Structure 1
């Protein structure tokens, strides 16, 4: 195909079209420039890619496996705390972000704990008849995270100890240190609630109130363990709204490799708490950081040469989109997933800004028709600036489809084309609403918004390149449009509403009338923005619980790495929209997350 001219693209808000005599007035969101310069990214270096560091990491992995196996084999005199020791070593490697090296050992430890699990709870050891709330809550959280069948009904009995004569929850006066740490453990367990588990909701409400009160009365003994800091962080950062890679780095910075504290008791556990875990965690973080650094250089180099920076009306966020996937799916074997995901996300941003603000309705109709035809010759009917856009779009879609076909061993081009047509059809409907100054019903808006958020085509572009075979019958267990119990559909719902609750005011200022807030207020005359937001949060909360249930569902046939990728991408998306539009304005909180997870290594 002949080289497409992009001379019509300029920094101006108007571009001459047609006969060139009448300028077209265009809307723009005035995005801030790319925060991460190409020269800066390519100046970053890391020594941790060298063989000596990987060799040391392998040695530490072997030594920790020996300690893990000694615990699992019951060596030594730890029989009085055999359940606690297994739970704590699993919790340690998971929170330090090194659990992928010990999957067999983790399974053996949790199988043992599950063998002695009962609905009354557990103590520190299998022969200990005294049920311990802190150990039980830790056991529940880890067993549920690993898809064991555990019921939260055990906590209903425990709650009776915290009720007054009228049945109301009360915080006992003079909160003991042991009670505080038990409540923190229970709070963390309650974050894994599934829909309909009322006792977990009750636990969450009660422990939140309890821990907020405890912050004002934590003893000096507990302050030495940074307990107050841990409580404050846990309350401000719900588990589903945290960045996995950031959490691992943070735990490395507060981990204390000395003794195991359980309430006010000290347990000597050298096989659980020692310097080797921390050394491996820091080394592993930096080795992964070194690998991701090279990928970031490749991504930014690709972006510069892709033609996308020529669309000056659009946001340039290549590193932000790489962060979106790499902050959860960081393992070396998923490099192809990360690259395809980032390319598609960068393309989507140009399309989003073109349909949302820059393009006229007539231009967008032409572009949408070109997408339906999948015919490069049709590009000649498009305005000049859209010609390059369509060429880049066409190339990226087909590149990802072909790579996916090679990975999956089946035809997928038609599947991808249909997904992209649906996605851009959603954009087109929103553009028509805007042109007609139409505000749809909330139901209509959400139904279309689940498609126009673009998450389905984005996630599919990554998950099919994870080295896991996903035949149609398996893929449909996570991707079946219109079914709100599927992981991808849930991601779309959560992403759409997380976006809307933080961006509706800026969008309204740009003249966009249709947002979930405005649609709710139209459906309910006289209602306020606060009431509309509360309604959306009431939709979000059960969707997040259903997302958790589907991720932890042990009865499907979807490879766990694929489910984890879909789940973690949702978590990072919620973080990006937690304090505002983290893609539109990425030079604040999101920039700090990127610094911590992708730019700065851990001091050894």
Structure 2
């Protein structure tokens, strides 16, 4: 909240930018202003469109922090310097809250970095600091115990429904649960995490089926079965996928009917059909069996659906408090915050997967931009896509954090959008971590299994 307030009052927050003497003093005495510049940089994570002074503050503070990390100084080996390096390398938008909490607990315990500097009035007594640390440790370990039980449950579900034994594609049950549990803090309850994880598992398996395993006739048959919501005529993998999806939908329908007294069966069937049909459209040629190459706009219209973030977020939002029960959401007719939450992950994915998809004969935005703009290379194209993401990210944050905008969703629902988009930022910020079999293993262990590294006093 303090970060948000800083950005909201940009004129007060960025006053030093217009004073050349102050700016020069900061640059000449960088180490003294390390914490201040770190806090400025963090505050600018929440930047809205048109906030030019905030953007300048981010650029200035980053430049100062980068110089500090390169200097051979008394801070070079301290916890504070490591914190600065981490902040510059892994931005807030690509970090998961649960692992951030772990880092803070361990850093505070082992380095006491919060109290570097002359601001002694910010110090806590040793006794109070220890009690707060004990509370933080107990909370983290409590979360880990919950997460271990929930992960065991969702792994059982995945096996019972045949999702983890398909013999093709990616078994990402643990990845899916880790990501959403680490991004969505308690008090979001277990039901939300479990529904989102199960949805992500079905999406991953079905997407792989459409991409790599199924014949074209099988894709037609499964897509038509989803449209009429009837498994007649299905067999093998298609029937397994349909049955797992039907079980998931039935579970959520029952929960929402019990909590709110409404029936969302039609909405769920429609949003899932929309998603399956988008995969069919991509597979139909890989956009290209007949040599058809879509325009960027055509590709993105379908691609924003096929990434399936809305298919995860909107159904689960019926379990929140307040929920979507009082809002008339229709498949294919989404509010701006949802449209932006669909667009950003698609483009993030495309930046990190264009090489693989080019080899598989598929198209994505990066490749299409080069086709439509002869003379551009891959660096030009990825830079262009990153700029689109950057601009839309600011607008997305504005819709999540600001009240009073048109087409309002409940605050809880908007924050769930944010948590899930941050998961995609984590997956695709600097590489395709989702498709890696090893890249997230240590993070998973830290989030769910490994005890905190707390120094004994």
TM beyond 0.5: yes
1:132-147 counterparts in 2 under 5 A? 141=3, 143=5
Residues 549, 216 of structure 1: CA spacing in aligned structure 2 closer, same or farther, 3 A cutoff?
same
1:250 Cα deviation after fit: 0.4
Q: 3-state SS of the aligned residue for 2:120? A: strand
Give me the whole-angstrom Cα distance separating, in 2, the residues matched to 1:287 and 1:385: 38
1:296-343, CA deviations, whole angstroms, 9 ceiling, x for partnerless residues?
111111111112233211211111111121012242651111111111
Partner residue of 1:121? none
CA distance in 2, matches of 1:210, 1:173: 7
CA distance in 2, matches of 1:553, 1:244: 21
Deviation at 1:571, TM superposition (A): 0.9
- Superposition deviation, residue 163 in structure 1: 7.2
From 106, 114, 118, the counterpart of 1:253: 106
SS at match of 2:183: coil
Q: Matched residue of 2:106: which SS?
A: helix
Q: Cα distance 1:420–1:260, how it changes in 2: closer, same or farther (>3 A)?
A: closer
1:279 aligned onto 2:134: yes
TM-score, scaled relative to structure 2? 0.90
User: Matched residues in 2 for 1:189 and 1:480: separation?
Assistant: 36
SS where residue 309 of structure 1 aligns? coil
Which whole-Å CA distance do the structure 1 matches of 2:112 and 2:443 have between them? 29
2:105/2:133 contact within 8 Å kept: yes
Query: Which of 134, 140, 145 matches 1:290?
Result: 145
Does the CA-based 8 Å contact 2:200-2:312 persist in structure 1? Answer: yes
What is the aligned partner in structure 1 of residue 263 from structure 2?
411
For 1:508, the equivalent position in structure 2 comes to 358
Separation (CA, whole Å) in 2 of partners of 1:384 and 1:333: 36
How far apart are residue 581 of structure 1 and its match? 2.2
State the partner residue of 2:88: 235
- Tell me the residue number matched to 1:340: 195
Distance in 2, Cα, partners of 1:441 & 1:484: 24
Tell me which structure has the larger Cα radius of gyration. Answer: 1
Aligned residues: 448
Asked if structure 1 preserves the Cα contact closer than 8 Å seen for 2:223 and 2:276, the reply is yes
Q: How far, CA to CA, are the matches of 2:49 and 2:151 in structure 1?
A: 38
1:466 matched residue in structure 2? 320
Shift of the 416–161 alpha-carbon distance from structure 1 to 2, 3 Å rule, reads: same
Which residue is equivalent to 1:26? none
Partner of 2:243: 391
Q: 1:402 to 1:314 in 2, by over 3 A?
A: farther
Cα deviation for residue 188 of structure 1 reads 1.2
Contact 2:49/2:395 (<8 A) preserved: yes
SS at match of 1:255: helix
- Counterpart Cα distance in 2 of 1:496 and 1:309: 25
- d(CA) in 1 for partners of 2:389 and 2:323? 31
Distance in 1, matches of 2:37 and 2:268, equals: 48
| Distance in 2 (alpha carbons) for counterparts of 1:498 and 1:318 | 21
Distance in 1 between residues matched to 2:27 and 2:182, nearest whole Å:
42
Query: RMSD across aligned C-alpha pairs, in angstroms?
Result: 2.7
Shift of 1:173: 5.7
Match of 1:574 in 2: 425
Identify the structure with the greater helix proportion.
2
Q: Partners of 1:428 and 1:298 in 2: how far apart? A: 31
Q: Which residue of 2 aligns with 1:368?
A: 223
Aligned to 2:399: 550
Tell me, what secondary structure is at the counterpart of 2:336?
coil
**1:563 to 2:414 alignment:** yes
**CA 218–548 in structure 1, closer or farther in 2 if over 3 Å, else same:** farther
Aligned pair in 2 of structure 1 residues 591, 439: CA closer, same or farther (>3 Å)?
farther
Q: Describe the shift of the 1:175–1:438 C-alpha distance in structure 2 as closer, same or farther (beyond 3 A).
A: farther
The 5 Å alignment of 1:295-334 reads 295-331=150-186, 334=189
Report the CA distance shift for 1:405/1:550 in structure 2 as closer, same or farther (over 3 A): same
SS at match of 1:439: coil
The offset of 1:262, in angstroms, is 6.7
| Structure 2 residue 441 is matched with structure 1 residue 591 | yes
Q: State whether residues 246 and 596 of structure 1, in contact with CA within 8 Å, keep that contact through their aligned partners in structure 2.
A: yes
CA–CA separation in structure 1 for the residues paired with 2:25 and 2:425: 32
Unaligned runs of 5+ in 2: none
Distance 1:144 1:159 in 2: 15
Which of 79, 102, 105 does residue 226 from structure 1 map onto?
79
Partner of 1:493: 343
1:518 to 367, 388, 392: 367
Distance 2:290 2:114 in 1: 64
Q: 1:9-67: CA deviations, max 9, x gaps?
A: xxxxxxxxxxxxxxxxxxxxxxxxxxxxxxxxxxxxxxxxxxxxxxxxxxxxxxxxxxx
